[in-house]
Amino acid sequence: MARPLIVVTGWIPQAGMDVLATAGDVVVSPADDPQRADRLSAAAAIVTLLTDRVDHALLDAAPSLQIVANVAVGHDNIDIAACHARGVHVTNTPGVLTDATADLAMGLILMSTRRLGEGERLVRSGEPWAWSMSMMLGTGVQGRRLGIIGMGGIGTALARRARAFGLSVVYHNRRRVDRAVEDELAAELLDLDDLLATSDIVSLHCPHTDATHHLIDRSALETMKRSAHLVNTARGPIVDEAALVAALAGGTIAGAALDVFEHEPDVHPALRSSDRVVLLPHLGSATVETRDAMATTAARNVVAVLDGGAPLTPVLPPKGDVGVS
């Protein structure tokens, strides 16, 4: 009997490829592959990256598809309803990138509040500099308030790190988190405006959905303290980037640190030239260990479905829910 065809849309770690090979014939077929259409037409599974759009057009081209296994926890690149309407499973990679992303968010908090990117650029520029009492002063995080929007796994992991750095934690979430977690973190659930108005640092950890698109817009930025910093390691379009540019230029907030962008990989030119913002190229999950784990999680989902079983980490159909996590 012919083995099922598994199409992978770009490079993934060998650990994932090895797992996939146990379930079928695997081809790597990026968007510019001239044989892509043929391959998709026969594909039983497709392993996608967060830069791939999975929409009606792709699903039309892949009539035998049983599963879309996204190698990411976020899945705003996939039309989930369209997949489910055709009986195609969708999976993501929750859990395995929690620590890596929370580490990065903590790093961005420190980079923004302590002006670390600016300092690095100064040294690299070759400009003369000398230590002085007043040079490049940032603000300490101890005793400050961190507001976490989206208190899922990554938000909670960031809260633990932040507590160790002496920050207090408030959060905004669709649901109140377990009392034990709230107690451990001394974390308080606030409505969005209260969180924005009282936090020294606001960090985004919600998915990008219709409800969270431009959640941080001009009005949200104006609600924040003038001394506050915004951190985004979630998805770019949660922030209205033009409004952020204006807020940074006008001193509405003090700084921002972004790992993701509204029109990724394009970055607003005014952000690139601003010293008030730290910019990273979507590195949240970029560790060798994490990418291996993401690839193997996606691959195990493919194996489970092609074996006739249930996916291990399914993305369920949207319920029209408007919450942030």
Specify the residue, 29 or 290, whose C-beta has the smaller distance to ligand DGY: 290
Interface residue with ligand DGY among 44, 72, 204, 304 (CB under 6 A) is 72
Q: How far apart are CA 94 and CA 315, in angstroms?
A: 10
Compute the least distance from the CB of residue 139 to ligand DGY, in Å: 28
20-39 positions binding ligand DGY, by CB under 6 A: none
Near ligand DGY in 82-111, by CB under 6 A: 97
Query: How remote is the C-alpha of 22 from its chain's centroid?
Result: 30
- Asked whether 77 and 51 are in contact (CB, 8 A), the reply is yes
Q: Does 50 bind ligand DGY (CB under 6 A)?
A: yes
Task: Provide the 3-class DSSP secondary structure of residue 290.
Answer: helix
Residue with smaller CB distance to ligand DGY, 25 or 264:
264
Q: Which stretch binds ligand DGY (CB under 6 A): 17-25, 57-65, 72-80, 303-311?
A: 72-80
Catalytic residue among 235, 268, 291, 300: 235
Catalytic residue check, 235: yes
Question: Contact, 298 vs 16, CB < 8 A?
Answer: yes
For the bound state, the minimum distance from the C-beta of residue 233 to ligand DGY, rounded and expressed in Å, comes to: 8
Size, binding site for ligand DGY by CB under 6 A: 8
Residue in 74, 107, 150, 152 binding ligand DGY, rule: CB under 6 A: 74
| Known catalytic membership, residue 176 | no
Least distance from ligand DGY to the Cβ atom of residue 161, Å: 18
Give the whole-angstrom CA distance, residue 311 versus residue 246.
44
Crossing angle between the packed helical segments 98-114 and 153-164, to the nearest 10 degrees: 50
State whether the Cα torsion 232-101-263-110 is positive or negative.
Answer: positive
Which of the following is catalytic: 145, 229, 282, 300?
A: 282
Tell me how far, at minimum, the Cβ of 91 lies from ligand DGY, in Å. 12
Closest approach of ligand DGY to the CB of residue 133, in Å:
40
CB 137 within 8 A of CB 194: no
d(CA 181, CA 159) in angstroms, rounded, equals: 10
Sites for ligand DGY among residues 263-292 (CB under 6 A):
282, 284-285
Rounded to whole angstroms, how far apart are CA atoms 240 and 242? 6
User: How far is Cα 220 from Cα 49, in angstroms, rounded to an integer?
Assistant: 31
- The 3 state secondary structure assigned to 29-50 is CCCCCCCHHHHHHHEEEEEECC
Name the residues annotated as catalytic. Answer: 235, 264, 282
> Which parts of this chain interact with ligand DGY (CB under 6 A)?
50, 72-74, 97, 282, 284-285
